[in-house]
Structure 1
Amino acid sequence: MSTPPLPAAPHPDGPPLRIGALVPLTRPGWTEAGRHLLAGLELAVREVNGAGGIGGRPLELLVRDTAADPERAAVAVEELAGLGVAAVAGEYHSVVARAAAARADALGVPFLCSSAVLDALTEGPSEWVARLPPAQSHGWRTYADFLLGAGHGRVAVAVQPSVYWASGTGILRERLAAHGGSVVELDANALGPEALCDALVEHGATAFLLLVGQPEPAVPLVRAVRSDPRLAELLVGAPAGQPEFAGWAEALGADGAGIPFLRYLPERPGPLGERVGEELRGLLGEAPSFVAFEGWDTVTVLAGVFRSYGTDRAAVAGAWPRVAVEGTRGPIRFTRAPGVGVWQWAWPPVQVADRDPAEPGRFRVLRSVPAEAPAGPEGPA
Structure 2
Amino acid sequence: MPPPVTSAEPASIPAILIGALAPLTPPGWVQAGQHLLAGLELAVREVNDAGGVGGRPIELVVRDTAADPQRAVAAVEELAGLGVAALVGEYHSVVACVAARRADALGLLFLCSSAVLDALTEQPSEWIARLAPAQSHGWKIYADFLLSAGHTRIAIAAQSSIYWESGTRILRDYFAARGGAVIELDASALSPTAICDDLVDNDATALLLLVGTPDLAGSIVKSIRRDQRLASVMVGAPAGQPEFADWAEILGDDVAAIPFLRYLPSSLSSLGVRVETALRKELPEAPSFVAFEGYDSITVLAHMLRSHGLDRVRIAGSWSLVSVEGTRGTIQFSRTPGINFWQWTWPPIQVVDRDPAEPDCFRVLYTS
Relative to the length of structure 2, the TM-score reads 0.96
Q: How far does the alpha carbon of each residue in 1:295-344 deviate from its partner, in whole angstroms, 9 at most, with x for none?
A: 00000000000000111221221221111110000000100011011100
Q: How far does the alpha carbon of each residue in 1:80-113 deviate from its partner, in whole angstroms, 9 at most, with x for none?
A: 0000000011000000000000000000000000
Q: Within 2, Cα distance between the matches of 1:54 and 1:161?
A: 44
Q: Within 1, Cα distance between the matches of 2:352 and 2:310?
A: 39
Gaps of 5+ in 2: 1-10
Q: Within 1, Cα distance between the matches of 2:273 and 2:333?
A: 24
Amino acid of the structure 2 residue aligned with 1:260:
P
Report the equivalent of 1:261. 260
Q: Within 2, Cα distance between the matches of 1:333 and 1:106?
A: 24
Give the drift of 1:245: 1.2
Report the equivalent of 1:331. 330
Secondary structure, counterpart of 2:125 in structure 1: coil
Q: Within 1, Cα distance between the matches of 2:134 and 2:215?
A: 25
The answer on 1:84 being equivalent to 2:83 is yes
Amino acid of the structure 1 residue aligned with 2:134:
A
Report the equivalent of 1:23. 22
Report the equivalent of 2:298. 299
**Where do residues 178-327 of structure 1 align in structure 2 (5 Å cutoff)?**
178-327=177-326
Amino acid of the structure 1 residue aligned with 2:194:
A
RMSD between superposed Cα atoms in Å: 1.1
Cα pair 1:13 1:56 within 8 Å, conserved:
no
Q: Within 2, Cα distance between the matches of 1:16 and 1:266?
A: 34
Amino acid of the structure 2 residue aligned with 1:215:
P
Report the equivalent of 2:103. 104
**Larger CA deviation: 323-332 vs 245-254:** 245-254
**Larger CA deviation: 214-223 vs 275-284:** 214-223
Cα pair 2:21 2:64 within 8 Å, conserved:
yes
Give the drift of 1:13: 5.1
Q: Within 1, Cα distance between the matches of 2:165 and 2:41?
A: 33
Q: Within 2, Cα distance between the matches of 1:298 and 1:177?
A: 36
Percent identity between the two aligned chains: 68
The answer on 1:165 being equivalent to 2:126 is no
Cα pair 1:13 1:57 within 8 Å, conserved:
no
Give the drift of 1:204: 1.2
Q: Within 1, Cα distance between the matches of 2:213 and 2:34?
A: 15
Amino acid of the structure 2 residue aligned with 1:55:
G
Q: Within 2, Cα distance between the matches of 1:83 and 1:204?
A: 57
Gaps of 5+ in 1: 1-11, 370-381
Q: How many residues align?
A: 358
Amino acid of the structure 1 residue aligned with 2:113:
S
Cα pair 1:356 1:362 within 8 Å, conserved:
yes
Give the drift of 1:214: 2.8
Larger Rg: 2
Give the drift of 1:200: 1.4
Q: Within 2, Cα distance between the matches of 1:200 and 1:31?
A: 32
Q: Within 2, Cα distance between the matches of 1:214 and 1:51?
A: 41
Q: Within 2, Cα distance between the matches of 1:350 and 1:336?
A: 20
Report the equivalent of 1:8. none
Report the equivalent of 2:56. 57
Secondary structure, counterpart of 2:287 in structure 1: coil
Change over 3 Å in CA distance of 1:312–1:216 after alignment to 2: farther
Q: Within 2, Cα distance between the matches of 1:295 and 1:167?
A: 24
Give the drift of 1:174: 1.4
Relative to the length of structure 1, the TM-score reads 0.92
Q: Within 2, Cα distance between the matches of 1:113 and 1:13?
A: 31
Secondary structure, counterpart of 1:32 in structure 2: helix
Q: Within 2, Cα distance between the matches of 1:36 and 1:58?
A: 23
Cα pair 1:101 1:129 within 8 Å, conserved:
yes
